[in-house]
Amino acid sequence: MRRPLLALVAMVALTVAVAGRQQGGLTPAQILKPSPESWPTFHGDYTGRHYSALNQINQTNVKGLSLAWTARLNTALQGATIGGFGPEPAAGAVPNANIKATPLLVEGMLYLATPNNAYALDGRTGRQLWHYYWKSQGGSNIGNRGLGMWGNYLFLDTPDQYLVSLDARTGKERWNQKKADYKGDLYATTAPTVVGNHVLTPAGGDYTDVPGWLESRDPETGALQWRWYGTPRAGEPGIETWPSAFAAERGGAAPWQPATYDPETNLIFVGTGNPQPVLIGDSRPGDNLYTCSIVALNADTGKLAWYYQVSPHDTHDWDATQTAVLFDAVINGRQRKLLAQASRNGVFFVLDRTSGEKVLTTQYLPSANWISGFKPNGQPIPNAAKEPQVGGALVSPHNGGATNWAPPSYSPLTGLFYVNTVEGYVVHYRTIGPTDVPNGYGGGAEHAVGGHGAALRAIEALTGKERWVHNYPASDGTAPRPEAFGGLLTTAGGLLFAGGSSGHVMAMDAATGKVLWHSGLVQQMSNTPITYMLDGSQYVLVAAGDTLYAFSVQR
């Protein structure tokens, strides 16, 4: 048991050293054990639970929740700090302002991002204080999940593969570091995760056969500390699950979601993406490690401690990047350190996070039809008839997955794991011959054919059984993507906050799923709710499109 103790001693030493250099801002100690009144990271803390210990807003008074303020992002570049190496924006051009990011709340300030943009707002009023704009050279503007923070420094990932550090007080750029060539079809949508003096930022793509990786950067300088590739290189463990080192090096496994972290073991937990080529796996026989896996990495070195593959040899684009949620529980009289994931493939996994050993595996999406059974270690066994076929194969989940990037939530009060889900179907076609070698999505085609709709599911974390389900009404009979309703938040007030299917936000009884309150928004909720406390008042903050809505109980 020396390793957890040494990890904690190292973290304390780092905290003292950093605190001596910085005045104000967010220290590693505050990230390690955040105040319930703040929201300093994408997940709120390192566990990934999206749970708050605040209870001023509770089941008794939530019916009195009303709008405290609203703020629409001012995207005008006049007065903004501008960086980057791309072309000058055209006159009158409006930067992307769709808010998918989870805002940070530190010392009364809100920090959030959209593709190529970062903003600071007053947490009491929503007044915008500064705006930073990055002139991108290219890349995908599909979304940005938010910022990372360390001290008085913010960290922004840009679509053209730069990591940018900003002064949180002014929005001025401190440094930028190029991660990769954006022309390599790489995405940058993730909120960086800060662990100690490590800024964790991923890279990877979808449409061509490229590698995926997670790297650690120094928060002071941006210098590269370590890089972990999601697929093995020649001579490394796991290379035997690929036909060649050439195939593995171009095999995908992008870890495109924020990590979670256990300070006692000094392990970060990351979900990896799909293999490449995506839909047709003929040219990559084998399990294709470490794609579609949950991996545990040493935070200081990036060295792999253990892995668990949730979709061996995936051929349906089911990334396993969903949040790895950490919690502790007593099982058979023994305290266990656990990790739970509701994976995109429709299966719920609970693992021992010290070893990766399976504790529980169960199917949580009723319509999932690609599984023919489970191995003794809990891994699903794919049904060969659900591989892409010349005549088509009807498969559930659809290509958006049973769930996707929008975070789940776990409440220690109820012991329930909450996740937004979709029961959708897609027909997978094969469009090439048996000897052809595809690239990216080539060689296959998908055609969505509807489904049973979307639902919020409450799963007993230790049994995998569904406690209750809230079905979202659908107006057109289609099966939306699972992130269409945003992420989830639970609180010590016994509440679960979620987005509805008709452009509103609602508060539910976390134990029963009963809707206790709801409020209309201009459009669909587009991010994950957070909650924080300022001047004795608790706020619940959500986004819809380019607008933030802050709710509180008026006193």
Catalytic residues: 317
451 contacts 398 by C-beta, under 8 angstroms: yes
Backbone angles phi, psi at 6, to 5 degrees: -65, -40
Nearest-10 Cα torsion for 39, 41, 47, 53: 0
- What is the C-alpha separation between 195 and 265, in angstroms, rounded? 13
What tokens does 351 get? Answer: 């693992």
Pair 122, 110: CB distance under 8 Å: yes
- As beta bridge partners, residue 457 has 419, 469
Whether residue 41 contacts residue 104, with contact meaning beta carbons closer than 8 Å, is answered with: yes
Q: For the chain, what's the residue count?
A: 555
Name the residue with tokens 């007080």.
169
Largest CA distance in the chain: 70
Q: Which two tokens stand for residue 204?
A: 């990877």
Taking residue 108's Cβ as centre, other Cβ atoms within 10 Å add up to 13
Backbone angles phi, psi at 463, to 5 degrees: -120, -20
> Which run of H or E residues covers position 225?
strand 224-229
Task: Count Cα neighbours of 81 within 13 Å in the Cβ-side half-sphere.
Answer: 18
Q: Determine how many CB atoms are found less than 10 A away from the CB of residue 183.
A: 11
Yes or no: say if 149 and 40 are a contact pair by the CB < 8 Å rule.
yes
Q: How far apart are CA 223 and CA 214, in angstroms?
A: 14
Given a contact cutoff of 8 angstroms between Cβ atoms, the answer to whether 230 and 211 are in contact is: yes
| Closest to 27 measured CA to CA, from 196, 270, 267, 242 | 196
Strands in 193-195's sheet, in edge-to-edge order, are: 193-195, 198-203, 213-217, 224-229
What secondary structure letter does DSSP report for 311? S
What does the alpha-carbon distance between residue 125 and residue 69 come to, in Å, rounded to a whole number? 6
